[in-house]
Each structure stands twice: as structure tokens, then as C-alpha cells.
Amino acid sequence: MSFEFTLLALIGIAVTLGLFSGRLVKKVGLPSIIGYMLLGTVMGVSVLKLFHHEHLRELTFITDIALGFVAFSIGNELKMSTLKSLGKSIGLIIVFESVSALILVAVLVYLVTGDIVTALIFGSLAPATAPAGTVAVIREYKAKGKLSSSLYAVAGFDDGVAILLFGFTAAIAKQILLSSSGISQGSLASGLIQPSVEIVLSLVLGSVLGFLYSYLIPKLVSKNNIPALTFGFILMGAGLAEMFHLSLILVNMGIGFVLANTTRHSTVVSVNEQLRSLMPLLFILFFFLAGAHLNFASLPALGLIGVAYMVGRAAGKIGGSWLGAYLGGASKTIRNNIGFGLLSQAGVAIGLSLLVSQEFSSIDSAQAHSIAESVVTTITATCILFEILGPITAKIALKNAGEIPD
């Protein structure tokens, strides 16, 4: 007699075992989220295959909810007074780490392939940073200080810059491909206008929801009702972002940002206290599912393009952050460490790679079809590896900065 666990039972098993696997890896000095990912890898499509691809597709909403809460918590940390104290270095760090990652990846991929279109496409995907890994490490180790504040700001606003750079660079790559294939060209301007509008509308929607949330939260009779209201607004933000093809991260970050800057400090503290017990559960589910997606069979397919992408992106993030911090007059501690907290990459990059695949597969060109087939596999595999590497380097950076309490 054979049987198969229901999806609900599998989620319960994953959360229970994830809790203890996180504690286990923490004993050897690694962030708990590495334990969640390793457990996901074992139970996922590579080893035990308890979670099938169909299961993972059904559970996409959990990832969206977790990212919504992460983005909300980032916005909650971005008080105008804090941003002013950090100075112009934040803006320069965001620009230089994003652009440097794009350029270095594009150059290395071009050296490997000799193809400018492929190089630009992979370069356009490099700037995106996944804030979940960094935020999880900061919260787990209760890190506080200027580096932690800088990481919150850079990881949050990085999403907008990444979308803008992707739109512009991918549009140029598409134009080159269409021109070389003798196909009629579209408008290059539309490649920049669309992501710009997406960013602006995301921030506008987040601000509107944020003001409404900030208006309602003081009217709650009991603090115990705060999680329900917060949960509702984050789901609303995520759902509306999906409906109108906006940035889930920027929308929910906007809600938290408005809250942090328009309401009393005691109210913000109450919100954070009520959410503190919920975040570990969301991190377990988010990183478990990230690990469950890892397919060992796809790793050999990375080849030199995958290696070039990982090396170029890591070097660009670290080197670009250092240069931006140096030009912005940031302290030596921030200069030497902030780049190591920005290596995680996940949902945004994978989503953008899917967009590339859809657009290029519709072009009547063998080169376009080749890019469409390779980009999703390569980016998905490298994202999983960056999701493992990123939290580890983030912890090292925070420790070097002296912001992890003994």
C-alpha cells in the first residue's frame, strides 16, 4: 500500500523540520535561513521529491506574501531622519553597485560568448537584489548600526533601479537583435518609459495604501488587531501590484515608509512588536521553498555563462558599492562591508528572466530562441546559489562592522 502526503501536511512538516534545521546550522555559525534552504533542497525536486514542480507553482503566493512583509519591514526602517544622517552615499552606492554589476556581467559574458545581445541580456538581470536574505540576517542577529540602516535602504531602493536598468538595457539588446535579423524595429524609448512608469506607479500606490493604513492603525482598540490589519494591507499591496504589473517590493515598502514617517514612534514600535513573532514563520517558508526549487540536474548546464554571471555580479556589487560609498564620503566600515550584504538574488531577477524568455521566444530568430531557452535556467540556478551565499556574506559583513551583539 502506497500513499502520498497532502500538500498541507507537507507544509506542516516543512515548517516543523525547518525550525530545527535552522537551529542546527546556527550552532555551526551559519544563519538559520541556510538550514531552511538545505531542508528545502532535500525535500524538493532534487532529492526526496516530496515537493513537485506543481506543488511549488501552487505555493507561489506564499513567496509573494513573505516578500510583501519583507518589503514592508524595510520601509518601516527608512525614516527620513535616518536617510538624512546616512547622506548622499546611499544614492551613490545604489547607482554604482547596480551599474557596476550590469557592466561587469555584460563584459564577462561577452568574452565567453562573443555575442553582444546575450551579454546585454544577462547584464540587465545582474543589478536586481533580493532583500529577504539580508533582512532575515539583520533581524535574526538583532543587528543595529549604520551598516544595518544602509543595507535596509540600499536593498529596498535597489529594486527600482534594477527595473529601470533592465528596461533600458534589454530594450537596446532587443533593438540590436531585430536590426541584425532584418526585422522591423520598435521604439527604443518605450523600453525606458515602461519601467519608469512602473516604478512611479508602484511608489504612488504604496503611498496611497500607506496613508490609509496609517490613518486606520491608531483607531484600533486593541494592539492584538494590528497583525490582521497589517496582513490585509500587505496582501492588498501584493495583489494590486500583481494585477497592474507593478513592483510588489516597492508597493509594500511604500506602505511601511509612510507609516514610519507619518505616525507616532510608539505606533511604529507596536506594529513591529506584533509582527516579530510572524516573521520567522514567513522566513522558514520563503527560504524552504527557495531551496526546494534547486534542481541539481540543471547546475552542469550553467557552463561558462553561469560562472561569468556569478563572478561579474559579485565583483560588481562589492566593487561598485565600495566606490559609491567612497565617493559619497561614507565611513570605512560601510565602504568595506556593504557590498557583501547585497549578493542575494531571487524573485525579481527570475521574474525578469521569464519576461525576457516570453519576449524573445516570439521573435523569429534562432539567436532569440537560444537566449529565451537558456536565460531562465541559468538565472534560476545562479539565484539559488546567490541565495545561499548572500546571507552568509551578509552575516560576515555585519560581524566585521561590529553590529551583531555578543
Q: Which residues contact 80 (CB under 8 A, 6 or more apart)?
A: 261
Instruction: Check residue 215 and give its pLDDT.
Output: 94
Instruction: Check residue 1 and give its pLDDT.
Output: 39
CA gap 112, 107 in Å, rounded: 9
Note whether residue 378 is domain-resident. yes
CA gap 303, 393 in Å, rounded: 24
Note whether residue 1 is domain-resident. no
Count of structural domains, the chain: 1
CA atoms within 13 A on the CB side of 186: 15
Instruction: Check residue 186 and give its pLDDT.
Output: 54
CA angle 120, 123, 126 (to 5 degrees): 160
Long-range contacts of 322-326, Cβ-Cβ distance < 8 Å, separation of 24 or more: 323/96, 323/100, 324/89, 324/92, 324/93, 324/94, 324/95, 324/96, 324/97, 325/89, 325/92, 325/93
DSSP state of 184: P
Note whether residue 43 is domain-resident. yes
Question: What's the grid cell of residue 265?
Answer: 514612534
Which CATH number belongs to the domain containing residue 377 in this structure? 1.20.1530.20
Note whether residue 309 is domain-resident. yes
CA gap 97, 67 in Å, rounded: 22
Q: Please, are residues 90 and 155 in contact by the beta-carbon 8 Å criterion?
A: no
Note whether residue 5 is domain-resident. no
Q: Please, are residues 271 and 239 in contact by the beta-carbon 8 Å criterion?
A: no
Instruction: Check residue 166 and give its pLDDT.
Output: 82
Taking the whole predicted model, whether its pTM rises above 0.85 is answered as: no
* Predicted confidence (pLDDT) per residue in 28-39, tens digit: 888 888 888 889
Tell me which residue range forms the domain holding 370.
27-400
Instruction: Check residue 373 and give its pLDDT.
Output: 72
Tens-digit pLDDT string for the chain (406 aa):
345 678 899 999 999 999 999 899 888 888 888 888 889 889 988 888 888 888 888 888 888 898 889 889 888 877 887 777 767 788 899 989 999 999 999 999 999 988 898 899 899 888 888 888 888 888 888 888 889 988 988 887 787 788 878 878 887 888 888 777 666 555 556 656 777 788 889 889 999 999 999 999 988 878 888 899 999 999 999 999 989 988 888 899 899 999 989 998 888 888 888 888 888 888 899 888 878 877 777 666 667 888 999 999 999 999 999 999 999 888 899 999 999 999 988 767 777 777 777 777 777 777 777 777 778 778 877 887 888 888 899 999 999 999 888 6
Strands (E), 84-135: none
DSSP conformation letters of 284-309: HHHHHHHHHT--GGGGGGGHHHHHHH
Nearest to 122 by CA among 324, 357, 343: 357
Q: Please, are residues 67 and 155 in contact by the beta-carbon 8 Å criterion?
A: no
What is the identity of the amino acid at 45? V
* Predicted confidence (pLDDT) per residue in 137-157, tens digit: 888 888 888 899 889 888 877
Report the phi/psi class of residue 342: left, alpha or beta, with left for phi > 0 and alpha for psi in -120 to 50.
Answer: alpha
Note whether residue 18 is domain-resident. no
**CA pseudo-torsion sign 344, 397, 250, 274:** positive
Note whether residue 10 is domain-resident. no
Instruction: Check residue 2 and give its pLDDT.
Output: 47
Note whether residue 134 is domain-resident. yes
